[in-house]
């Protein structure tokens, strides 16, 4: 299988390559099986989607759909194309927020309701029949790093996972092969720490502690959540056979 990873990262952001490696490892493919497009260069050309089996939308470094920027209109055009073309897609973190906004949901900057580190989430009953999320139990731990929050999911979305406060943490867009998570199933706890060590100020500002203290107290393994991407790959492969 081949994938197109939609990114929104500065050219000198080392996490651009790191993100490819993390997705490749969890999808059980090589990095060479993942093409990429940076939305800072404009909307993704539509013919790129014709050369791949599925799309991935990852994090964004310093960029936010709430704050926007010169790139936002092109990014929304790409999101609309993904939905209109029924492209098999898995979106995490910023990708979840971008698709939520593009499909009529609401995203707000609410750092007090954001997450950083490893947190426990709760599955809705709809997970039991979902071809991807049925691999999860009733509760699971997973990796986070966000301050923008989807306060209202898209009207077409089927909510699959919620936080302890009731916020939507994952959805499927109706019956489309499009799933999104506020969390990062492409990151193990060691991947998360690799990423956060590149941004220690983010940890200090959000968690109020240094990275070593944070690593010792706020980060745990997330084995169950890391099964989502293999399940997504299997679902896409099965639907194309």
What domains can you pick out in the chain, each with its CATH number? 3-240 (3.40.50.880)
Rounded to an integer, the average pLDDT of 92-115 is 95
Give Cα 198 to chain centroid, integer Å: 19
Taken in order 189, 5, 30, 10, the sign of the CA dihedral is negative
Residue among 40, 53, 218, 72 nearest 145 (CA): 218
pTM comes to 0.96
Is residue 134 very low, low, confident or very high in pLDDT (cuts 50, 70, 90)?
Answer: very high
Q: Which residue's entry shows tokens 């100020």?
A: 201
Is the pLDDT reported for residue 106 higher than 80?
yes
Measured between alpha carbons, how far is 32 from 14 in angstroms, rounded to an integer? 17
Give the per-residue pLDDT at 240.
Answer: 81
Cβ-in-10-Å burial (0-12, 13-18, 19+) of 87 comes to middle
Is residue 60 very low, low, confident or very high in pLDDT (cuts 50, 70, 90)?
Answer: confident
- Condensed to tens digits (0 to 9), the pLDDT of residues 153-200 reads 999 999 999 998 899 999 999 999 999 999 999 999 999 999 898 888
The 10 Å CB-count burial string (b at 16+, else e) for 99-111 is bbbbbebebeeee
Is residue 61 very low, low, confident or very high in pLDDT (cuts 50, 70, 90)?
Answer: confident
Is residue 201 very low, low, confident or very high in pLDDT (cuts 50, 70, 90)?
Answer: confident
Is the pLDDT reported for residue 225 higher than 80?
yes
């Amino acid at each position: 299988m081949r994938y197109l990873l939609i990114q929104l990262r500065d050219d000198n952001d080392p996490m651009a390559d790191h993100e490819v490696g993390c997705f490749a490892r969890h999808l059980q493919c090589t990095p060479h099986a993942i093409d990429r497009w940076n939305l800072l260069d404009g909307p993704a050309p539509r013919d790129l989607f014709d050369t791949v089996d599925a799309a991935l939308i990852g994090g964004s470094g310093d960029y936010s759909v709430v704050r926007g920027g010169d790139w936002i209109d092109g990014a929304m055009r790409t999101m609309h194309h993904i939905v209109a073309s029924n492209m098999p897609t898995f979106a995490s973190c910023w990708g979840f927020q971008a698709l939520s906004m593009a499909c009529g949901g609401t995203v707000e900057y609410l750092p007090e309701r954001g997450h950083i580190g490893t947190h426990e989430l709760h599955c809705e009953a709809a997970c039991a029949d979902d071809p991807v999320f049925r691999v999860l139990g009733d509760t699971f731990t997973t990796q986070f790093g966000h301050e923008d929050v989807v306060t209202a999911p898209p009207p077409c979305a089927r909510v699959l996972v919620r936080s302890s406060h009731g916020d939507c943490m994952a959805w499927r867009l109706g019956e489309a092969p499009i799933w999104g998570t506020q969390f990062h199933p492409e990151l193990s706890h060691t991947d998360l720490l690799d990423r956060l060590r590149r941004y220690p100020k983010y940890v200090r500002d959000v968690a109020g502690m240094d990275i070593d203290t944070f690593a010792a107290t706020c980060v745990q393994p997330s084995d169950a959540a890391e099964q989502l991407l293999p399940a997504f790959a299997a679902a896409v492969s099965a639907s194309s056979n």
